[in-house]
Amino acid sequence: MVAGLLFLALAYLAVGQAAVNRSSAQTAADAAALAAAQKTRDQLAGLWMAHVRDPAKWQAIFAGDGGGNFCLRADRLAGLNGATEHCAPDGPLSYVVEATTIKGVGHSVVPGTEDMRSTAHATAVIEPLCTPPPAEGAVGDELPALTCKDHKVWHPKPDDSTSLPKPEDLFDVHLADSPAHDQ
């Protein structure tokens, strides 16, 4: 009976080890996807700042044009979290990452599980928080207002940096629901 209880305790420990390994994979996938998306958000915000005097380009920027591919950033973050990853842009405003732990589950009473690695998926989305006005919204030298979420209205004055929104005012970065095919 004691041997049976000991085996059961060790089996629970093995399940715990697998859960920790799975959690590490999910952390790596989430961090990697968010890192790539935040870098893209920052680039898009910088692009908007560079073209703030040209409202005709605002619509394309808020649609993700010129955002680049920052999967290299995702790779670095996955490595720091003990995983390898596969990252791919999913359109101009989204990244999909699959992370696999570098270390296996480890020794346990369950034969053949020592080298098993966990895999997890994450999708990070860059959501524009502002609606650019039509290009014909500019009147003379005055720039059109930029209306954002929660009815925040920015009146950009390029010569006054305090009147310009920050990247987090222009775009939100968050994780989206991932498919349930993680292991």
Query: CB–CB of 63/56 below 8 Å?
Result: no
The confidence band for 182, taking pLDDT boundaries of 50, 70 and 90, is very low
- How would DSSP label each residue in 88-129? EE-STTEEEEEEEESS---S-SSTT-TT---EEEEEEEEEE-
Tokens linked to 57: 């380009």
- pLDDT given at position 10: 47
CA–CA gap between residue 182 and residue 172 (Å, rounded): 25
What integer is the mean pLDDT of 129-139? Answer: 75
Kindly report the pTM of this predicted structure.
0.79
Q: Which of 72-76, 82-86, 153-157 has the highest mean pLDDT?
A: 153-157
The confidence band for 3, taking pLDDT boundaries of 50, 70 and 90, is low
> How far apart, in Å, are the Cα atoms of 159 and each of 53, 143, 155?
10, 12, 12
CA–CA gap between residue 116 and residue 16 (Å, rounded): 14
Residue scoring higher pLDDT (122 or 107): 122
